[in-house]
Amino acid sequence: MVKSILKFKYLIIGLGLVLFMVDRLGKFIALQKLPESNVISDFLIYGYYPNSGIGFGISLPKTITIIFVSVVLAGLCPWFIKAWSADDKKKILGLTFIVVGAASNFIDRIVYGSVIDYLNLFETSIFNLADVLIIGGVAYIIYYLHKKKQPLYRNNQ
């Protein structure tokens, strides 16, 4: 059992690093500001789309956005550590996706002043892999907790 959870944790660390690097590579290529004619398919365009909002078109001043994202990331850390210590594989997986995506987008905000999005779906939704990881991680945790009928965060005090 211990060997199994240790393997899982190494796998999650590796997966998180790979996903982080794939997103960073996608952003690096997009920063080359290639023309928007980089059509991947009839419905998906690869390009450079800077995004100063925090998600779903919500815009806040840069300082407030950085503070907000910092607080969210800091708030996730104890939850992640608790899941990691409890060997809760499903929470670890969902939280890994959220933390990896949020960290990659946070780096963009600090370095470039906005998040670098590079995928345009049906010319209506613009996003990057980090966004997919965040939304996917949140959806996975909500589904998992709903299925287990657990609260999102339980304080043992």
The fraction of the chain above a pLDDT of 70, given in percent, is 87
Check if the beta carbon of residue 50 is closer than 8 Å to that of residue 80: no
Q: How confident is the model at residue 107 (pLDDT cuts 50, 70, 90)?
A: very high
Q: For residue 104, what are the CA distances in angstroms to 7, 39, 56, 79, 120? A: 25, 24, 17, 19, 19
Domains in the chain: boundaries: 2-148
Query: CA end-to-end span of the chain, whole Å?
Result: 28
- In DSSP terms, 44 is beta-bridged to 121
Q: pTM of the full predicted structure?
A: 0.83
Mean pLDDT of the chain: 86
Cα angle: 88, vertex 94, 99; to 5 degrees: 115
Q: Is the pLDDT of residue 57 over 80?
A: no
Give the 3-state secondary structure of the chain: CHHHHHHHHHHHHHHHHHHHHHHHHHHHHHHCCCCCCEECCCCEEEEEEEECCCECCECCCHHHHHHHHHHHHHHHHHHHHHHHHCCCHHHHHHHHHHHHHHHHHHHHHHHHCCEEEEEEECCCEEECHHHHHHHHHHHHHHHHHHHHCCCCCCCCC
Point out the least confidently predicted range of 112-121, 130-139, 141-150.
Answer: 141-150
